[in-house]
Structure 1
Amino acid sequence: MTNLEALKQFVIDEVEKNKNELLQLCSSLIQIPSENPPGDSTEISQFIADYLKESNVELDWHESADKMYNLLASQGAGDGKELVYCGHTDVVPAGDLSKWDFNPFSGEIKDGWMLGRGASDMKAGLAGLIFVFGLFKRLNIELPGKLTLAIVPDEETGGEYGVPWLLERKLVTGDGALIAEPSSPLNPTIGQKGSYWFELEVFGEPGHGSLSPLAGNNAITDAIKAIEKIQGLWELDIHIPKEIQPLIEVSKRYMEEVEKDRIKYQPVLEKITVNVGTINGGTKSNVIPESCKVQVDCRLPFGVTHAQVSDYLKQELDSLNIRYSIRLFGFKSEANYTPAENPVCRAIVDNISAITGKEAYGVMQWASSDARHFRDHNIPVLQYGPAYLPSIHGYNEKVQVEDIVRCAKVYAAAAIDFLHNN
């Protein structure tokens, strides 16, 4: 056994020895409601700062918006590579409490499950990063490079005041990043589709409803015609770049072998998905509507750009001879990925395989996350975190305790590998 292998085994053993502390930390994070909206991270940020202070870790606080706090800390020699541990403190609202089988802010452990809002997305993963960072400090683990902990308050509503805020101000840099977002146990996400959210407003001319369709111009019926054209985006034949095809194929394999209930969704990896999410128009039934607004969420595969989608929509909607406007909002990104052979991907994937004794490989995500911001700043990144995927953003969110512990072991071992290997 080499010195590096011995060091990795030592920290893995220490995670196992101290796993009750890790689980208590996770429970405590869940017990602090940090729903976004409203996005107030004061209480949870202070708790994390107090916890890490016990390991002699001092955090720098950066308030990016009212009561939204980004927390930063670093350790290591500083002369070498830098790895960023990244996680968000905010969770989606718990919703109708009567539909939960347990208190969403209990943080209870029952029958091997950690229960509560954020258990899977992503307080279990966040707890793992914080715990390992503090553990390294307590154990005086010598790191040849720099390990940075970046805890952000704003991911669930688009993330404007979290990761991109830090990166744009160069408060965070790095040679690689690990985000503890939910994933399957053996399959980190190393790529994701792009996002194209837009609002279409169609304009008509008001008039008395008893004279329609001879009088006025109905914005709602014109919007229906427009929606039919928009849905044509799904039918477009997208040419996936040759270098991306292996990632698409391994992601299809994942859907066949791991999340078997998702086999029927394989086409989304190569198609523009179209979800007409909201429609709002008219004033009352006997008035011809003069306006109708439709909000649409499209996810873009590799091989198509925002500009191409905009050109397609303009051409198709112009052909209808209607009056309209389009406004982009929300998530905006092109499809992006980190190559599987990149050192940060290898560090995570190899250590998953070593710790579980099973084959691990990176796959593509059909949604979006903070990973795109790191890639925009040329920082290779992947996502790996404990999760029970069917429960994310739903009622009765939970995660298996053994997944929390396993991921923390991977975080520790991967940091040592990444920082020691040039």
Structure 2
Amino acid sequence: MTEDAASRVLAEIEQSREGIIQDVKRLVEVPSVNPNYPGVRSEEYLGQESEANLLLRDRFGYLFDRSQLVKSQERRENFAGVVNGSGKGRSLLLNGHIDVVPAGNPDTWETDPFIASEVSGRIHGRGASDMKSGVIAAFSAIEAIRRSGIELAGDLVVHSVAGEELGEHEVGTGCVLQNGYTADAAIVVEPSASFDSPLSINPTAASLLWGRVRVEGLAGHPGLRRELVRAGGAGAHAGVNAIDKGYLVLQALYRMEEQWGLSKQRPLFKPGQFVVMPGTIHGRGKDIDIPFVFAEYCEIDFIVWYPPEENSDVVKREIEQFVNQSVSLDPWLADNLPTYEWPVEFPGFSTPSDHEIVRALGKSHERANGISAIVEAFPAACDATWIAKTDIPVVNYGPGHLANAHKPNEYCDIDEIIAATRSLALTALDWCGVK
């Protein structure tokens, strides 16, 4: 990367600032909610991911020597493009997802979640942080390079994909990779700000499990509650309240989480990152949903974050054995152990923190923004996992903060969007090389 090329690209980004803001707003206003997200009507949103990617194609398609809409399912198209290099440099992939989570109750928003608003230097709207600002930053970085008249030595590749919010990599990132849109290294533009610094660099992320544990009870009359909880009571002869037994399981999960806070610590991960988080609890009679009978079952769904190098089957066994041992002092549960399901598995990823792509991104961030970037783990799941599984070294870096994602009044700081655009453009110049 020459100083002249860097200066020209940075000047182009600064001149394009207002256009970048408008591009983010337009993209936010496409309600590209993942159509398979629990609680939404699929027919209401199916096709909106495609609409968002059609918008990107129409706006940025002219930049690419080769581009196409790629799909594995009808009405769920991805967009991918390639800026050809001279063939004498390394290729770089910029990857982002276009689907978003539902907006939820509109009454909890100060503005319409799908009408982008600009307030106090921030763009508000569903997907502003997760992760349409990052997607626009990636395309805008490419546009700045092209408008500057700079030719790269290596190919520059971009993905805008569907399906990430539910780990549907076969619909999105995996599908596009299988269609040949690969590279020598990759940057996923998920929101990477931390509580300590904006725009941190994330070369690793935890693995995710969704677990479900169920305990059974015995129906009985609530007038006999005393027999279940008082010394000398009849106990299971009068019935078993599954919610009581589920509470014992819940306590065991919390104890496991506390234990992991000490036993599972890894470089780049903040202390306590590896957790067992209860998310939903359901307990009731099987044929009656009022509290006039002892609950006959209790189910707890929980999320597990664990170190990326650990085997998921080993982690599952660790949790099951810990819970079973913890609750076995209860006479009912000793004879009626909990049962387990594991509906979702989303592996983490790990790129060495001294890898060339991490160093190149760090150098570009400092050159573009005047400060050193913090290097730390990404605290959530992302499509970097599926890129890493193809042996492409990958790092996460993009505008926004998870504290603003998946919640009402989501926003992204405009200065952060521009800063990310600068860093991505300079990294492309450095990694791919200038012809």
| Contact 1:56 1:138 (8 Å CA) reproduced | no
Question: 1:126: which partner in 2?
Answer: 135
Question: Counterparts of 1:327-366 in structure 2 under 5 Å?
Answer: 327-333=341-347, 335-366=348-379
| Contact 2:70 2:175 (8 Å CA) reproduced | no
Looking at structure 1, the residues matched to 254 and 86 of structure 2 have their Cα atoms a distance apart, in angstroms, of 51
3-state SS of paired residue (1:308): helix
**Among 44, 53, 60, the residue aligned to 2:52:** 44
Q: Mind listing any 5+ residue stretches in structure 1 that lack a counterpart?
A: 249-265
3-state SS of paired residue (2:167): coil
RMSD, matched Cα: 2.5
Deviation at residue 53 of structure 1 after TM alignment: 3.2
1:83 and 2:87 aligned: no
Letter in 2 for 1:230: L
Looking at structure 1, the residues matched to 263 and 116 of structure 2 have their Cα atoms a distance apart, in angstroms, of 46
**Among 141, 148, 151, the residue aligned to 2:150:** 141
Bigger-Rg structure (1/2): 2
**Among 177, 197, 206, the residue aligned to 2:210:** 197
**Among 225, 228, 249, the residue aligned to 2:251:** 228
Residue correspondences, number: 395
Question: 1:262: which partner in 2?
Answer: none
1:267 and 2:271 aligned: yes
| Contact 2:378 2:396 (8 Å CA) reproduced | no
Looking at structure 1, the residues matched to 355 and 342 of structure 2 have their Cα atoms a distance apart, in angstroms, of 33
Question: 2:232: which partner in 1?
Answer: none
1:406 and 2:412 aligned: no
Looking at structure 2, the residues matched to 162 and 143 of structure 1 have their Cα atoms a distance apart, in angstroms, of 27
Looking at structure 2, the residues matched to 406 and 365 of structure 1 have their Cα atoms a distance apart, in angstroms, of 19
Deviation at residue 205 of structure 1 after TM alignment: 3.8
Question: Counterparts of 1:383-394 in structure 2 under 5 Å?
Answer: 383-387=396-400, 389-394=402-407
| Superposed CA offset, 1:17-61 (max 9, x none) | 222222221111112121224453122121111112344665311
Question: Counterparts of 1:315-326 in structure 2 under 5 Å?
Answer: 315-319=321-325, 320=328, 321=334, 322-326=336-340
| Contact 2:357 2:394 (8 Å CA) reproduced | yes
Per the alignment, do residues 57 and 98 of structure 1 end up closer, same or farther by CA in structure 2, a change over 3 Å counting? farther
**Among 130, 143, 155, the residue aligned to 2:164:** 155
Per the alignment, do residues 396 and 289 of structure 1 end up closer, same or farther by CA in structure 2, a change over 3 Å counting? closer
Question: Counterparts of 1:3-402 in structure 2 under 5 Å?
Answer: 4-36=2-34, 37=37, 38=45, 40-55=48-63, 59-77=67-85, 79=87, 80-160=89-169, 161-167=171-177, 169=178, 171-184=180-193, 185-210=198-223, 213=235, 214-236=237-259, 244-245=266-267, 247-248=268-269, 266-269=270-273, 272-283=274-285, 284-301=290-307, 304-319=310-325, 320=328, 321=334, 322-333=336-347, 335-387=348-400, 389-402=402-415
| Contact 1:52 1:58 (8 Å CA) reproduced | no
| Superposed CA offset, 1:77-98 (max 9, x none) | 3634221111111122222222
Per the alignment, do residues 279 and 390 of structure 1 end up closer, same or farther by CA in structure 2, a change over 3 Å counting? closer
Deviation at residue 366 of structure 1 after TM alignment: 2.3
